[in-house]
Amino acid sequence: MTLEGLPTLREALEAHGLWANKAFGQHFLLDLNITRKIARLAQVSAGAHVIEVGPGPGGLTRALLETGARVTAVERDERFRPLLDEISAASSSLNVIFADALKIDEAQLASGAPAHVVSNLPYNVGTPLLIKWLTGPWTPASLTLMFQREVADRITEGPGEDAYGRLAVIVQATCAAHRVMDAPARAFTPPPKVDSAVVRLEPRADRPSPERLTALQTVTAAAFGQRRKMLRSSLKVLGGDDLIAAAGLDPQARAEVVPVDGFLALADAWLARR
């Protein structure tokens, strides 16, 4: 679909005297070529329901609406109401909610139907939101998210790589994770001090149960809390050698080299001891 009659993003921002708010971690993505590419990478089709967090002036929102998707945009900053109202007036497929995304009930927004999450996430809440979506009661159909490049590395890297840690384990235990696009700082207004990257996450059919996921968070918090120590030391508080033996792991290994399956085995062993 087309959004006829709308001013360009830059014109809309200038008309309303708006600028990015550092307190909200905002950096505007005004390049339509990039926003349209993100919409394509999200693989949403006409009629699909998309939840977008932090639409700001609506650059990615416009690209998502062009696919024919139904978009629920969750924005915390009331300053963007006039710009988003203009897009709503041009498209009946957009529903804008002004709220804190960390506090919303996505299942209620989705009305029990599958929904995709597509977002250029505000830098200061990206990781907490991701953890909420991966470990909470609501499971999205897919997630296509832009993060700081450093966070994208922490999501996608594997055992033995520099950025591999607790976040990677939780993400990869629940989803297939792929880094699908890089975005240099100059693509944003104002440019952030770091580059960004888009990560696509597809929930696994064998996603851990809530109980198993809670156990996984417990063992990874202990193991990576002292990541340079051997497992026998870092996991001593949870059972030490006995726990590690039950999981079939090397007690002299360090958390940074243990694969996701190894941490799931530790979670299972910890649950069995309770």
Question: From residue 54, how far is each of 77, 168, 274 by CA, in Å?
Answer: 8, 23, 41
Q: How much is the average pLDDT of 124-146?
A: 93
Domain assignments of the chain as residue spans, ordered by start = 9-203, 210-273
Q: Can 9-203 and 210-273 be said to share one CATH topology?
A: no
Say whether pLDDT at 231 is over 70. Answer: yes
For 56: left if phi > 0, alpha if psi spans -120 to 50, otherwise beta; the answer is: left
Query: Domain spanning 9-203 has what CATH number?
Result: 3.40.50.150
Q: How much is the average pLDDT of 153-163?
A: 96
Tokens of 5: 């009659």
Tokens of 233: 């030391």
- Angle between helix 260-273 and 210-225 (nearest 10): 110
CATH class of segment(s) 210-273? mainly alpha
pLDDT tens, position by position, 115-134: 999 999 877 889 999 999 99
pLDDT tens, position by position, 41-56: 999 999 999 999 999 8
